[in-house]
Structure 1
Amino acid sequence: MRRLLVTTVHLLALPAVLVALWWAASDGSTDVYWPPLRTVLRTFPHVWTGQRLHDDLLRSVLRLLAGYALATAVGIGAGTAIGSWRRVRALCEPVLEFLRAVPPPVLVPVIMLFAGIGDGMKIVVIAGGCVWPVLLNTVEGVRAVDPVLADTARSYGITGVARLRTLVLRSASPQIFAGLRQALSIGIILMVISEMFAASNGLGFTVVQFQRGFAIPEMWTGILLLGLLGFALSVVFRLVERRALGWYHGRRATTRRS
Structure 2
Amino acid sequence: MTLTSSVQTTARLRRGRRTSGAPRWALIGTEIAVPVVLVALWWIVSAGSTNTFFPPLSAIVGRLGQLLATPAFLGDIGVSVLNLVLSFAIATVVGVLLGCALGLIAWLSWFVEPTIHFFRAIPPVALVPIFVSIIGFGNETRILSISLAALFPILISTIDGVRAGDPTLEMVGRVYRLSRAERVFQLVLPAASPRILSGMQVSLITAFVVMIASEMLGSSTGLGAATLLAQQSFAITDMWAGILVLGVIGYAATALFTLFRRAILRWYIASQQLEKSE
Give the distance between the partners of 2:258 and 2:125, measured in 1 at CA: 27
Mapped contact 2:165–2:192 kept (Cα < 8 A): yes
Post-superposition offset of 1:18? 2.3
Post-superposition offset of 1:74? 1.1
Give the distance between the partners of 2:276 and 2:24, measured in 1 at CA: 21
Mapped contact 2:67–2:73 kept (Cα < 8 A): no
The equivalent of 1:145 in structure 2 is 165
- Going from structure 1 to structure 2, the CA distance change for 1:83 and 1:25 (only over 3 Å counts) comes to farther
Post-superposition offset of 1:20? 2.7
The equivalent of 1:243 in structure 2 is 263
1:110-144 deviation digits (Å, cap 9, x = unpaired): 21244332110000010011001101111111111
Task: Give the percent of matched residue pairs that are identical in Structure 1 and Structure 2.
Answer: 36
The equivalent of 2:182 in structure 1 is 162
The equivalent of 2:231 in structure 1 is 211
TM-score (structure 1 length as normaliser):
0.92
The equivalent of 2:201 in structure 1 is 181
Give the distance between the partners of 1:195 and 1:128, measured in 2 at CA: 15
Give the distance between the partners of 2:162 and 2:41, measured in 1 at CA: 44
Give the distance between the partners of 1:182 and 1:21, measured in 2 at CA: 30
Stretches (4+) displaced over 4 A: 3-8
- Going from structure 1 to structure 2, the CA distance change for 1:214 and 1:65 (only over 3 Å counts) comes to same
The equivalent of 1:59 in structure 2 is 79
Post-superposition offset of 1:217? 1.3
Matched, 1:104 2:108: no
Post-superposition offset of 1:252? 2.1
**Between 135-144 and 95-104, the greater mean CA deviation after superposition:** 95-104
Mapped contact 2:68–2:74 kept (Cα < 8 A): no
Q: Which amino acid aligns with 1:52?
A: A
The equivalent of 2:91 in structure 1 is 71
The equivalent of 2:53 in structure 1 is 33
* Structure 2: gaps (5+ residues): 1-22
Q: Which amino acid aligns with 1:236?
A: L
Mapped contact 2:131–2:141 kept (Cα < 8 A): yes
- Going from structure 1 to structure 2, the CA distance change for 1:38 and 1:54 (only over 3 Å counts) comes to closer
Give the distance between the partners of 1:54 and 1:218, measured in 2 at CA: 14
**Between 231-240 and 220-229, the greater mean CA deviation after superposition:** 231-240
Q: Which amino acid aligns with 1:55?
A: G
The equivalent of 1:80 in structure 2 is 100
Give the distance between the partners of 2:166 and 2:179, measured in 1 at CA: 16
RMSD: 1.9
Matched, 1:90 2:103: no
Matched, 1:123 2:143: yes
TM-score (structure 2 length as normaliser):
0.85
Report the number of matched residues: 256
* Structure 1: gaps (5+ residues): none
Q: Which amino acid aligns with 1:152?
A: V
Give 3-state SS (helix, strand or coil) of 1:158's partner. coil
Higher RCO (Cα < 8 Å, 6 or more apart): 2
Give the distance between the partners of 1:236 and 1:153, measured in 2 at CA: 34
Post-superposition offset of 1:257? 3.1
The equivalent of 2:241 in structure 1 is 221
Instruction: Within 5 Å, give how 1:37-48 maps onto structure 2.
Output: 37-48=57-68
